[in-house]
Amino acid sequence: MNQPPLAQRILLAKVGLDGHDRGIKVVARGLRDAGFHVIYSGLWQSIDAVVQAAADEDVDWLGVSILNGAHMTLVPALLESLRQRELSQIGVIVGGIIPPADQAKLIELGVRGCFGPGTPLPSIVEFCNS
Amino acid sequence: MNFVAAESPAFRTSLSGVPIKPLYGPADLADFSAQAEIGRPGQFPYTRGIHESMYCGRLWTIRQFAGFGRPRDTNRRFRFLLDQGQTGLSTAFDLPTLMGLDSDDPRSVGEVGRLGVAVDTIDDILALFDGVDLQKVSVSMTINAPAIVVMAFYLAAARQRGCDWRQLRGTIQNDILKEFHAQNEFVFPPEPSVRLVVDLIAFCTRYVPQWNPVSISGYHIREAGSTAQQELAFTLADGQHYVQKCLERGLSIDAFAPRLSFFFNAHNDLFEEVAKYRAARALWAEMIRDDYGAKSEASWKLRFHAQTAGCSLQAAQPEVNVVRVAYQAMAAVLGGCQSLHTNSMDETFALPSEQAVTLALRTQQVLAHETGVTNTVDPLGGSYFVESFTHKMKQDADACFRAIADQGGMIAAVENGYFRRQIADAAFEYQTAVDRSEKLVVGVNAFQQPDRDPIAVMEIDPATEPGQIGTLRAVKQNRSGADVTRSLDALRHAAEHRDNVMSSLLQAADDRATVQECVDALADVYGRFRPSAAW
Cα separations (Å) of A25 from A49, A129, B495? 19, 19, 36
What does the alpha-carbon distance between residue B83 and residue A122 come to, in Å, rounded to a whole number?
46
Q: Which candidate in A10, A14, A15, A18 is best for mutational testing of the B interface (most B CBs within 10 A)? A: A18
Asked if A97 lies within 8 A of B350 by C-beta distance, the reply is yes
Determine the average pLDDT of the residues in A26-50.
96
The residues, ordered by sequence, that sit 6+ positions from B285 with a Cβ below 8 Å of its Cβ are: B44, B45, B46, B300, B301, B302
pLDDT at B60: 97
Q: What phi, psi does A19 have (nearest 5°)?
A: -100, 15
**pTM value?**
0.95
Q: How far apart, in Å, do the first and last CA atoms of chain B sit?
A: 34
The nearest CA of chain A is from the CA of B226 a distance in Å of 10
* Whole-angstrom distance, CA of residue A100 vs CA of residue A105: 9
Interface test with B, best of A10, A24, A25 (most B CBs within 10 A): A25
Query: Does residue B196 surpass a pLDDT of 90?
Result: yes
Task: Note whether A105 contacts B: Cβ–Cβ < 8 A.
Answer: no
CA angle B428, B344, A66 (to 5 degrees): 45
Average pLDDT estimate for B456-470: 94
Q: What is the mean pLDDT of chain B?
A: 95
Q: How far is CA A78 from CA A45, A73, A115, B107, B484, in A?
A: 11, 9, 17, 15, 37
- What pLDDT does B2 receive? 44
Percent of chain A with pLDDT over 70: 98
Distance of alpha carbon B135 from alpha carbon A72, whole angstroms: 40
Contact B407, B413 (CB under 8 A): yes
Q: Please check the confidence at residue B40 and state whether its pLDDT lies above 80.
A: yes
What phi and psi values does residue B202 have, to the nearest 5 degrees? -65, -45
Q: What ipTM does this complex have? A: 0.92
Measured CA to CA, the distance from residue B274 to residue B263 in angstroms comes to 14
pLDDT at B32 over 70: yes
Comparing CB atoms, the residue among B114, B314, B435 nearest residue A68 is: B114
Task: Using DSSP bridges, classify how beta strands B211-212 and B214-217 pair: parallel, antiparallel or unpaired.
Answer: unpaired
Question: pLDDT band at B453, cuts 50/70/90?
Answer: confident
Least confident stretch, B149-158, B235-244, B287-296, B452-461: B452-461
Per-residue confidence band for A1, with pLDDT thresholds at 50, 70 and 90: low
pLDDT of residue A5 exceeding 80: no
**A21 neighbourhood in chain B, CB within 8 Å:** 184, 224, 535
> What does the pLDDT read at residue B8?
53
B531, pLDDT greater than 90: no
Asked whether B102 and B514 are in contact (CB, 8 A), the reply is yes
Say if B448 is an interface residue toward chain A (CB within 8 Å). no
Beta-carbon separation of B457 and A116 below 8 A: no
Q: What is the pLDDT of residues B212-267, one digit of tens each?
A: 999 999 999 999 999 999 999 999 999 999 999 999 999 999 999 999 999 999 99
Q: Looking at residues B288-310, what average pLDDT do you find?
A: 98
- Percent of the residues in chain B that have a pLDDT greater than 90, as a whole number: 93
What would the pLDDT profile of B70-83 be if each residue is shown by its tens digit? 999 999 999 999 99
What pLDDT, in 10s, does the model give residues B103-145?
Answer: 999 999 999 999 999 999 999 999 999 999 999 999 999 999 9
Residue in chain A nearest B445 by alpha carbon: A120
Cα B224 from Cα B231, distance rounded (Å)? 10
Residue A15 gets which letter from DSSP?
B
pLDDT tens-place string over residues B502-512: 999 999 999 99
